[in-house]
Every structure is written in structure tokens, then in C-alpha cells.
């Protein structure tokens, strides 16, 4: 990832479990660990998933120990028949198993609180590799383990995210801080309204940005994120370099940037509404309440968000949003005229400063002149109003999500120009 990453400590993450490689569960542990290791200035060139197979686990672990300084394993430490990580690690490190009395006492106390004895199968957790440092787990039944081979470190953690994070904070992070060599930083620039290709066309040659930082674009059907990354000896150096790169990005595509890092579009919209002292009400049709849902995910949204009406039928548009039935008959429910009338209606009936609306063809039922994905978004204040037309996909779920995203972006730009 980094041009000079050879100066950084290198780590690999290994997720163990048939449930991971079969797709039954998502490996969120790898994402968490990678982020935490980067904060410690440790590069992660590889994350691997492997099933509950002794030979496969052994091969992957041995390979990682040859390549990198630090290996972190998650999963396979439970007490069921397919939890074999402890056994495989004992073989890799030629370590005999012994009884750990502290693990036994911890489990006995834990189950006694539930008025139970330690189940027979769980008692296998008492046995630990003699050459491992035990990572005692107050959050669950399975202890973690730390092995060392020459200067290589291997940490084995439970797969349950709560337990994994607890042991990482209690044991792994403090250990790795002692050998930290540098700092890795990331800046995520979030854009909406551009495709990946059009974004970089507006930016121009990316080489000038890559002379400052490592660059990656992360496109989705809702937005395009630009990740800027840099590593150095100090956090101050990292922040200066990321700041310079951010200024370069903003100079070219700042019009389409709504936020960075942990910002959400609904969060930015909410802040603008609060800062400008404006209130909002929404009238939705094809999005089915998704805009209101996103807005109310933000703490304190009751200060600016008054109400949301899902007027899915033409009758609801007329009775709840005061849209004229003649207007619907003349232009159709999916039209600029109806979108503007919906926005005006919800603004007036709610008493909000701003009315926002969306009407469209999300799924099957399209006509020739209004195909699936046709969406109109309206916005209304007392003295001005506007609408935008979009043509999205032939996919109901994505059309709903893209429509909500487009509505929030229209509202953001409206407030920015207020």
C-alpha cells in the first residue's frame, strides 16, 4: 500500500472457520484489526480466511510466520468439535498441553453466577499450550494465546467480536505499542453525484496526487470515496501530508464533496439545518420512508426534522399532501409537477421551512415514457422551489437507495447556497 512500507512492521490477519469461508458470516474482525494495526503504524498486506482444516490452517500460519513480523488469528478457539485452532498451534510450536488453573477458576466462577457447573465440553478450555502466554478472557469462555518464534509474534484470539476486541485492547495493543515504528494515517474524501470515471476526469492526472500520498478510489452505486494514505515517523508529519493532498482534491472536485472520514450525508444535512435554523418535512412515494429513516438516525434530529409522510398511492398524495388530482391526471404521479406539489404540500401542512419530496418508478410497472428508475425530486421553500430528474437502474432496492441519496444531496446543495 505504501511506497516505503518496508520501514513499517508487517502483519497478517487470519480468520479461521468454515462459517467464514462459506459466507454464512461476515469477517468483521479483519476490518477491525486492520484499522487498529494501521493506527499503530503496522502495515497489513494480507488478510486470509481458512476453513476448519488442520492442514490448511497449518500451511497458512507457517506461511504468514515466514513473511511478516506479526500474525493475528481469529476463530476456532471454542469448545466444539470444529474448534481446532489451539490444537494446530500447539503442533506448530511443538508445545505440550497443560492444565491452566486460572482458566479453570475463571470458568467455574462464571458458571457459578448462573447457578451452573462448567459443562463437560467447555472444560477442554482448561488445557493450554505450555509454550504460550495465556490471554485471559473475562468476556467469554475461550482464552487467547500469544506465541513467539525468534522475533515473530503470533496472537490467537476468539472469533466472537466482543471477546476479540476485549483481548486486543487488553493484551495485543499494549504489546505492539512497545515496538511501534511509525504512524499510518488515512483520509477518506466522500463525493456524491459523480461516477468514478467522471471524478478522475475532473481531477486530471492522478500522478501529481500520488507524489504526495497513496491514492485509492472506492466506488459504489451511492457515492465514490477517495482514500488518501500516508505513513511517517510522527502523526504530525502524516496530518500535514494528508492535509496537503486533501486541499488538492478539494480544488478539483470540492463541489461534489459532502464530507470526509466518518461523516454521513444525513449527518451533514442535519448539521446544516441546525446551523441555519431551518426545519424540514418530507413527502415520500417510491422511497417508502427511507429518507426519513436516514435523517432520524442522527442524534438530535428532532430539532430540525418535523415529519415524514409516505404517500405511496395517488389518493394519499391528494389527501395527505394536497396534490391536485387534476395535476396527477394531467402529468402523471411521476412528474416534476407532482414532485413540486408534494414538496409544497408537506411544507405547508407541517409548518416546516423546507419541504422535500420524491416520486418515481422504483420497480416493475413502468410506462414507455417513464421507464423503471425514473425519479423526480422536489424541494420547496416559501419563495422558491426546484426539482431534479434522475434515471437510475432496473433494480427496486437500488433505485430506492439512490433516490434517497439524491434527495439528501439536493437538500445539502440547497442549504449550502442558502
pLDDT in tens, 303-348: 999 999 999 999 999 999 999 999 999 999 999 999 999 999 999 9
pLDDT of residue 363: 81
> In the structure, what pLDDT confidence band is assigned to residue 365 with cuts at 50, 70 and 90?
low
Across the range 14-30, mean pLDDT stands at 93
- pLDDT score at 364: 75
Is 265-416 in the same CATH topology as 183-260?
no
Report yes or no: 14 and 71 within 8 Å, Cβ to Cβ. yes
> How far is residue 257's CA from residue 253's CA, in Å, rounded to a whole number?
7
The CATH T-level fold of domain 5-177 is Molybdenum Cofactor Biosythetic Enzyme; Chain A (3.40.980)
The helix (H) or strand (E) run that includes residue 49 is strand 42-50
What rounded mean pLDDT belongs to the chain? Answer: 94
pLDDT tens, residue by residue, 43-95:
999 999 999 999 999 999 999 999 999 999 999 999 888 899 999 999 999 99
**Please, which residues have CB within 8 angstroms of residue 169's CB and are 6 or more apart in sequence?**
none
- Look at residue 127 in the predicted model and tell me its pLDDT: 94
Asked whether the CA dihedral 129, 132, 133, 138 is positive or negative, the reply is negative
CA angle (272, 192, 209) in 5-degree steps? 110
The gap from C-alpha 22 to its chain's centroid, in whole angstroms, comes to 22
The confidence score (pLDDT) of residue 366 equals 54
- The domains of the chain are located at 5-177, 183-260, 265-416
Q: Are 338 and 376 in contact (CB under 8 A)?
A: yes
| Per-residue pLDDT, 369 | 74
pLDDT digits (tens, 9 = 90+) for 233-259: 888 999 999 999 999 999 999 999 999
For domain 183-260, the question of CATH label 3.40.190.10 is answered with no
Q: Give the span between the Cα atoms of 405 and 68, in whole angstroms.
A: 42
Per CATH, domain 265-416 is 3.90.950.20: yes
pLDDT tens by residue, 252-285: 999 999 999 999 999 999 999 999 999 999 999 9
Tell me the longest C-alpha to C-alpha distance in the chain: 84
Confidence of residue 2 (pLDDT cuts 50, 70, 90): low
165: Cβ contacts below 8 Å, ≥ 6 apart: 32
Per-residue pLDDT reduced to its tens digit, 214-235 = 999 999 999 999 999 998 888 8
Cα-atom radius of gyration of the chain, to the nearest Å? Answer: 28
Q: How far apart are CA 181 and CA 74, in angstroms?
A: 24
Q: Give the pLDDT confidence score for residue 8 in this predicted structure.
A: 86
Q: Does residue 24 have a pLDDT over 60? A: yes
Amino acid at each position: 500500500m505504501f511506497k516505503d512500507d518496508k520501514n513499517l512492521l508487517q502483519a497478517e490477519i487470519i480468520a479461521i472457520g468454515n462459517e467464514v469461508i462459506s459466507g454464512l458470516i461476515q469477517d468483521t474482525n479483519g476490518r477491525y484489526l486492520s484499522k487498529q494495526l494501521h493506527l499503530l503504524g503496522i502495515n497489513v498486506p494480507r488478510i486470509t480466511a481458512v476453513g476448519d482444516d488442520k492442514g490448511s490452517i497449518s500451511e497458512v500460519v507457517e506461511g504468514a510466520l515466514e513473511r511478516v513480523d506479526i500474525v493475528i488469528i481469529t476463530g476456532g478457539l471454542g469448545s466444539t468439535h470444529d474448534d481446532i485452532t489451539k490444537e494446530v498451534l500447539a503442533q506448530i510450536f511443538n508445545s505440550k498441553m497443560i492444565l491452566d488453573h486460572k482458566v479453570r477458576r475463571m470458568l467455574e466462577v462464571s458458571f457459578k453466577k448462573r447457578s451452573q457447573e462448567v459443562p463437560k465440553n467447555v472444560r477442554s478450555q482448561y488445557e493450554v499450550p505450555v509454550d504460550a502466554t495465556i490471554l485471559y478472557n473475562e468476556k467469554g469462555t475461550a482464552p487467547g494465546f500469544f506465541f513467539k518464534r525468534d522475533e515473530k509474534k503470533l496472537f490467537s484470539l476468539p472469533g466472537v467480536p466482543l471477546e476479540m476486541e476485549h483481548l486486543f485492547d487488553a493484551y495485543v495493543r499494549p504489546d505492539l505499542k512497545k515496538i511501534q515504528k511509525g504512524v499510518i494515517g488515512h483520509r477518506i474524501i466522500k463525493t456524491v453525484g459523480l461516477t468514478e470515471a467522471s471524478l478522475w476526469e475532473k481531477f486530471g492526472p492522478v500522478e501529481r496526487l500520488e507524489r504526495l500520498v497513496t491514492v485509492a478510489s472506492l466506488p459504489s452505486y451511492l457515492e465514490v470515496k477517495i482514500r488518501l494514505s500516508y505513513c511517517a515517523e510522527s502523526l504530525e508529519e502524516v496530518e500535514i501530508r494528508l492535509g496537503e493532498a486533501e486541499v488538492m482534491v478539494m480544488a478539483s472536485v470540492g463541489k461534489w464533496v459532502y464530507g470526509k472520514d466518518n461523516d454521513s450525508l444525513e449527518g451533514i444535512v442535519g448539521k446544516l439545518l441546525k446551523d441555519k435554523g431551518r426545519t424540514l418535512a418530507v413527502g415520500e412515494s417510491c422511497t417508502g420512508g427511507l429518507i426519513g429513516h436516514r435523517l432520524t438516525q442522527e442524534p438530535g434530529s428532532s430539532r430540525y426534522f418535523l415529519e415524514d409522510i409516505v404517500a405511496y398511492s395517488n389518493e394519499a398524495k391528494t389527501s395527505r399532501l394536497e396534490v391536485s388530482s387534476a395535476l396527477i391526471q394531467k402529468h402523471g404521479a411521476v412528474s416534476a409537477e407532482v414532485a413540486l406539489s408534494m414538496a409544497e404540500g408537506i411544507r405547508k401542512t407541517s409548518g416546516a421551512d423546507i419541504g422535500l419530496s420524491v416520486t418515481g418508478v422504483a420497480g416493475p410497472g413502468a410506462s414507455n415514457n417513464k421507464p423503471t428508475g425514473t425519479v423526480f425530486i422536489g424541494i420547496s421553500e416559501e419563495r422558491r422551489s426546484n426539482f431534479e430528474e434522475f434515471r437510475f437502474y432496473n433494480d427496486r432496492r437500488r433505485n430506492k437507495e439512490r433516490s434517497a441519496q439524491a434527495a439528501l444531496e439536493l437538500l445539502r446543495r440547497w442549504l449550502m447556497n442558502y
